[in-house]
């Protein structure tokens, strides 16, 4: 019996006709999803071997896949849930490296329920054991190398779903939009907290995930209570929206993953007139850690507004800000953020890969495991944390410490800048040369001199990029929509 | 080509490859906006002094003289005026 599925099964027994999922316009009731999970459970048992052995299920967003996950979790099998987009070799390597011998896929039930694809993998002999009590094994979205595997303890997930249900008022009558891919930690809120609370998950069809009109229609038609997403989702929802038809059912809007550009933020209160807005900070390793009631900050003038603060620790979360000397800052100041959350993993599956990220250190109440976020934050006098950038993206140019992301934010604050990426390239004289690639808004004649004046008013001279190229083309992006700095190259080689 | 236009063409070809001549205001502050940094200003000084025959050992140079197209032009003009004084003296 798994705490992740106990509430789900309870719901399936008591109100089998209540919708658990909305998929391509059709409701999938709790009873039906639970029964399909039962079929999968039988098939899994017939595969033989240890009934509680971990399995790998690539994260396709389909009701069948969710039923398969429920089936595995019911039997206490930890589930490795990698992106469904992984290449076949990477998927096998990841699975074998986690000591798992089966990759399972739920097939759509055209001619009979519970079609199951099984691929056998030879697990690596030296693979670390999956820790006792693990529910899901998620992977980090690192852009280089094999992703790191993050085993999430069932009790940690349970604490999270309980917090989420209370904080966002999730219950049997609430619908939550699921936009994030199923392997993202965001689904602990969108999918697992919703199902644990007996609500319904409105699954976005991956084939229509970039169709703003469809997404608005989905939210209105299914009375969606909570929307969570990265800036891309809100851009899709805001662009082309009819001001006369706001999304009135939404009570909670959760902004996460990246800073929402101020001009987009300013449009959100009109789009969601009856919602409160939360800016949520977290990562796969720790889950949600910080939260900000963003509503009061949204109507600010987008021309002068900076990025939203990260906010303050969630209940039970502890935050440390380490200064340059490696000691925790007592009051205001800038440094790397370390967090300890009730929802976190104890480490990566392969402890060797996490020695520098999961660190033991004591605070006033004793020693505990902290996660080094790699994020550079500024704490103000009232305790609010602001994101400055990644510690990885902090560079030294002529002795001055510069955050690439801070320079990007400065460029983005120009009204005619639609997107910006800042990188460094090696430079013989200065060591590093700061460069910016900027996409201007459509129809703009913005040129580099106006941008430089804009920067000169806001940045130290050394932080003004040596080379700025203005383009009308899209900037290179990684899989989650963040800037792909490695793909930018030396902007001097680009045609103007 | 007159001197300001020539200075402008040099600055654009060296530091502002995307720009056309009419976009660069002759008073635009090239130093404060980082178009020319403290190392690159040496390149500008070299070009200006070579092109207009300003002997480096006979003039006092401050970075501010190279702040803009007009500042550079004024710097060269000032030098030419002192030189003509010397010739007539």
String of DSSP letters for A47-58: T-S-TT--EE--
Residue A496: pLDDT above 70? no
Are residues B37 and A448, on separate chains, in Cβ contact within 8 Å?
A: no
Render the burial of A363-380: b for 16+ CB within 10 Å, e for the rest: eeeeeeebbbbbbbbbbe
- CB contact, 8 Å: B56 with chain A? no
- CB contact, 8 Å: B16 with chain A? yes
Residue A192: pLDDT above 50? yes
Rounded to the nearest angstrom, the minimum Cα separation between B87 and chain A is 41
Number of DSSP helices (H) and strands (E) in chain A, helices first: 13, 25
Calculate what percentage of chain B has a pLDDT beyond 90: 49
**How many Å apart are CA A167 and CA A178, to the nearest integer?**
18
Residues with Cβ within 8 Å of A7's Cβ and at least 6 positions away in sequence, in order, are A195, A196, A197, A198
Total number of domains constituting chain B: 1
Least Cα distance to A83 among A178, A150, A147 occurs for A147
Q: What is the mean pLDDT of residues A401-430?
A: 87
Residue A428: pLDDT above 80? no
ipTM: 0.81
Residues of B in contact with A429 (CB under 8 A): 39
- CB contact, 8 Å: B69 with chain A? no
Residue of B nearest to A470 (CA): B18
Alpha carbon distances (Å) from A401 to A194, A320, A423, A483, A494: 43, 21, 14, 21, 27
CATH code for the structural domain at A210-390: 3.40.50.12780
pLDDT band per the 50, 70, 90 thresholds, residue A109? low
Give the domain CATH number at B65. 1.10.1200.10
Q: What's the fold here for domain A398-493?
A: GMP Synthetase; Chain A, domain 3 (3.30.300)
Residue of B nearest to A493 (CA): B17
Q: Are strands A224-229 and A175-178 parallel, antiparallel or unpaired?
A: parallel
**Model pLDDT for residues B60-77, shown as the tens digit of each residue:** 888 788 999 999 999 999
Pinpoint the alpha helices (H) of A303-402: none
Calculate what percentage of chain A has a pLDDT beyond 70: 96
Q: How many CB atoms lie within 10 A of CB B54?
A: 18
Least Cα distance to B42 among B58, B56, B28 occurs for B56
Compute and round to an integer the Cα radius of gyration of chain A.
23
Are residues A465 and B17, on separate chains, in Cβ contact within 8 Å?
A: no
Q: What is the mean pLDDT of residues A98-121?
A: 84
Residue A304: pLDDT above 80? no
Are residues B35 and A452, on separate chains, in Cβ contact within 8 Å?
A: yes
A177 membership: H or E segment, kind and range: strand A175-178
**Model pLDDT for residues B48-58, shown as the tens digit of each residue:** 999 998 888 87
A194 membership: H or E segment, kind and range: helix A194-196
- CB contact, 8 Å: B41 with chain A? no
**How many Å apart are CA A416 and CA A399, to the nearest integer?**
31
Calculate what percentage of chain A has a pLDDT beyond 90: 68
Residues of A near B (Cβ–Cβ under 8 Å) read: 429-430, 447-449, 452-453, 455-456, 461, 464-466, 469-470, 492, 496
Residue A493: pLDDT above 90? no
Which pLDDT value is given to residue A144? 45
How many CA atoms, within 13 angstroms, populate the side-chain half-sphere of residue A72? 26
pLDDT band per the 50, 70, 90 thresholds, residue A175? very high
**How many Å apart are CA A187 and CA A489, to the nearest integer?**
34
pLDDT band per the 50, 70, 90 thresholds, residue B87? low
Which pLDDT value is given to residue A460? 79
Render the burial of A292-317: b for 16+ CB within 10 Å, e for the rest: bebbebbeeebeebebbbbbbbbeeb
- CB contact, 8 Å: B25 with chain A? yes
**How many Å apart are CA A396 and CA A432, to the nearest integer?**
8
CATH code for the structural domain at A1-152+194-201: 3.40.50.12780
Left (φ > 0), alpha (ψ -120 to 50) or beta: where does A73 sit? alpha
Sign of torsion, CA A203 A195 A19 A71?
positive
Which pLDDT value is given to residue A495? 61
Least confident segment among A143-152, A326-335, A385-394? A143-152
Residue B72 belongs to what domain range?
Answer: 3-19+26-88
**How many Å apart are CA A224 and CA B78, to the nearest integer?**
73
Sign of torsion, CA A461 A465 A467 A469?
negative
**How many Å apart are CA B13 and CA B82, to the nearest integer?**
30
Which pLDDT value is given to residue A336? 93
**Model pLDDT for residues A228-280, shown as the tens digit of each residue:** 999 889 999 999 999 999 999 999 999 998 788 888 999 999 999 999 999 99
Residues of B in contact with A410 (CB under 8 A): none
Least Cα distance to A419 among A399, A437, A434 occurs for A437
| Contact between B55 and B49 (Cβ < 8 Å) | yes
Sign of torsion, CA A92 A353 A126 A76?
negative
Map residue B46 onto helix, strand or coil: helix
Residue of A nearest to B16 (CA): A448
How many CA atoms, within 13 angstroms, populate the side-chain half-sphere of residue A121? 25
Residue A390: pLDDT above 80? no
Angle, to 10 degrees, between the axis of helix B69-88 and the axis of helix B3-15? 130
Least Cα distance to A119 among A138, A104, A134 occurs for A104
Which pLDDT value is given to residue A143? 41
Residue B30: pLDDT above 70? yes
């Amino acid at each position: 019996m798994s705490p992740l599925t106990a509430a789900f099964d309870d719901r399936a027994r008591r109100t089998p006709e209540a919708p658990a999922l909305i998929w391509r316009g059709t409701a999938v009731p709790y009873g039906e999803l639970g029964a399909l999970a039962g079929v999968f459970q039988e098939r899994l048992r017939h595969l033989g071997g240890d009934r509680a052995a971990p399995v790998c299920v690539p994260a396709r967003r389909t009701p069948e896949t969710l039923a398969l996950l429920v089936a595995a979790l019911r039997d206490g099998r930890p589930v490795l849930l990698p992106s469904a987009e992984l290449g076949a070799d990477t998927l096998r390597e990841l699975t074998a490296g986690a000591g798992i011998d089966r990759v399972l896929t739920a097939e759509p039930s055209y001619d009979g329920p519970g079609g199951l694809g099984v691929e056998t993998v030879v697990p690596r002999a030296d693979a670390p054991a999956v820790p006792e009590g693990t529910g899901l094994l998620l992977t980090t979205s690192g852009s280089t190398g094999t992703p790191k595997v993050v085993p999430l303890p069932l009790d940690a997930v349970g604490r999270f779903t309980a917090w989420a249900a209370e904080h966002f008022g999730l219950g049997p009558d609430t619908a939550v939009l699921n936009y994030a891919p199923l392997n993202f930690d965001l689904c602990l809120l969108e999918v697992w907290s919703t199902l644990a609370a007996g609500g319904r998950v409105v699954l976005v069809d991956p084939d229509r995930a970039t169709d703003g009109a469809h997404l608005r229609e989905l939210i209105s038609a299914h009375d969606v209570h909570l929307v969570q997403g990265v800036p891309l989702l809100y851009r899709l929802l805001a662009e082309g929206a009819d001001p006369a038809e706001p999304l009135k059912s939404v009570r909670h809007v959760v902004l996460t993953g990246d800073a929402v550009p101020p001009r987009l933020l300013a449009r959100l209160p009109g789009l969601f007139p009856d919602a409160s807005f939360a800016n949520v900070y977290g990562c796969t390793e720790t889950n949600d850690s910080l939260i900000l009631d963003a509503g009061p900050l949204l109507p600010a003038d987008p021309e002068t507004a900076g990025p939203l603060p990260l906010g303050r620790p969630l209940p039970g979360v502890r935050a440390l800000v380490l200064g340059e000397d490696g000691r925790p800052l007592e009051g205001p100041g800038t440094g790397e953020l370390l967090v300890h959350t009730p929802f976190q993993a104890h480490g990566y599956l392969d402890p060797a890969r996490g020695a520098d990220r999961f660190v033991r250190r004591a605070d006033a109440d004793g020693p505990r495991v902290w996660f080094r976020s790699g994020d550079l934050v500024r704490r103000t006098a009232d305790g609010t944390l602001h994101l400055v950038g990644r510690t990885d993206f902090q560079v030294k140019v002529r002795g001055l410490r510069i955050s690439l992301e801070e320079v990007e934010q400065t460029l983005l604050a120009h009204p005619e800048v639609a997107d910006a990426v800042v990188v460094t390239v090696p430079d013989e004289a200065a060591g590093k040369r700061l460069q910016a690639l900027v996409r201007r808004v459509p129809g703009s004649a913005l040129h580099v001199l106006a941008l430089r004046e804009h920067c000169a008013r806001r940045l130290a001279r050394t932080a003004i990029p040596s080379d700025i190229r203005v383009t009308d083309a899209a900037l290179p992006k990684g899989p989650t929509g963040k800037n792909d700095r490695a793909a930018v190259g030396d902007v001097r080689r680009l045609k103007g | 080509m007159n001197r300001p236009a020539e200075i402008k063409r040099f600055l654009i070809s060296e530091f502002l490859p995307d720009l056309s001549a009419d976009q660069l205001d002759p008073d635009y502050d090239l130093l404060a906006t980082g178009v020319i940094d403290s190392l690159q200003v040496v390149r500008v000084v070299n070009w200006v002094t070579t092109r207009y025959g300003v002997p480096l050992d006979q003039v006092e140079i401050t970075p501010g003289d190279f702040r803009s197209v007009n500042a550079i032009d004024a710097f060269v003009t000032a030098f030419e005026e002192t030189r003509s004084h010397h010739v007539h003296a």
